[in-house]
Amino acid sequence: MRHARAGKKLGRDSAHRKALYSNLAGALIEHGRIKTTVTKAKAVRPYAEQMITLARRGDLHARRQATSFLRSRDVVHKLFADVAPLFKDRPGGYTRIVKLGPRPGDAAEMAYLELVDEEYVAREREARTPEPAAAVPAEAAEAEAEPDVPVEAAEELPETEEERVEDPEAAAEVLAEEAEAAEPTAEDEPAEPTPGAEPNR
């Protein structure tokens, strides 16, 4: 019988269970928040808080103890360098469990296990998510599409006949003169050959 034997077995042997706790605690320290089942979150929470307590102590022996459990020097370095200073004035209770409801596949109760410091969690979440491309404002896009013409250059642009003549009657006369000039005259038409004459060779 398991009288006064604390802890969940989670359907695993001792080696598998220890590796699971190590991986979950390392992921929590690295990312600030993990999503898992409520049972696993409650089981790994004491180990994660114990690692933070070791990091708050900060000596060499504590670092070696954390390395033997977490099995990753990078995670231990982040634990001692980034996470421990956040909780230097907090005597305990470094994590929280936020329940999310049942999982669609097997209806297992899911939860977030996260560090209490919201700024660290938000910073780690932003570091994992890629930044979206900055949207160009509509005014800036229009300015790029239509280059600005200097005032002096705009004054030098040629004007059309209609813009030069303000009077509508005068504009109509100008258009009529242009139409007459465009019509071919008798001088411009080629001369028709006389019948019986040999073409010039």
- Of the chain, the end-to-end C-alpha distance in Å amounts to 127
Structural domain span for residue 54: 14-128
Question: Phi-psi region for residue 102, left (φ > 0), alpha (ψ -120 to 50) or beta?
Answer: beta
31 CB burial (10 A radius; 0-12, 13-18, 19+): middle
Using CA atoms, how far residue 136 sits from 130, 131, 132, 141, 145, in Å, is: 18, 15, 12, 7, 12
Question: What span, in angstroms and rounded, lies between the C-alpha atoms of 14 and 20?
Answer: 10
**65-97 b/e (C-beta count within 10 Å ≥ 16 → b):** bbbebbebeebbebbbebbbebbeeeeeebbee
Q: Tell me whether residue 141 is in a domain.
A: no
How far, in Å, CA of 60 to CA of 79, rounded?
14
Q: CA-CA distance, 162 to 175, in Å (whole number)?
A: 9
187 in a domain, yes or no? Answer: no
Would 145 be classed as within a structural domain? no
pLDDT of residue 53: 96
CB atoms within 10 A of CB 40: 19
CATH assignment of the domain containing 98: 3.90.1030.10
DSSP 85: G
d(CA 18, CA 145) in angstroms, rounded, equals 62
Q: What is the DSSP letter of 17?
A: H
Any domain includes 20: yes
| 191 in any annotated domain | no
Two structure tokens written together for 146: 């239509």
Would 138 be classed as within a structural domain?
no
Query: How would you write the pLDDT of the chain (201 residues) with one tens digit per residue?
Result: 878 787 889 999 999 999 999 999 999 999 999 999 999 999 999 999 999 999 999 999 999 999 999 999 999 999 999 999 999 888 899 999 999 999 999 999 999 999 998 777 777 778 877 766 555 555 555 656 555 555 555 455 555 544 554 556 666 777 777 777 766 555 555 555 555 555 555
Could you give the number of structural domains in the chain?
1
H helix count then E strand count, the chain: 9, 3
CA–CA distance from 88 to each of 53, 145, 186, 187 (Å)?
9, 55, 105, 105
152, part of any domain: no
Contacts of 75 (CB under 8 A, 6+ apart): 26, 29, 30
Residue with tokens 């700024």: 119
Q: What's the pLDDT at 162?
A: 47
Residue 140 included in any domain = no
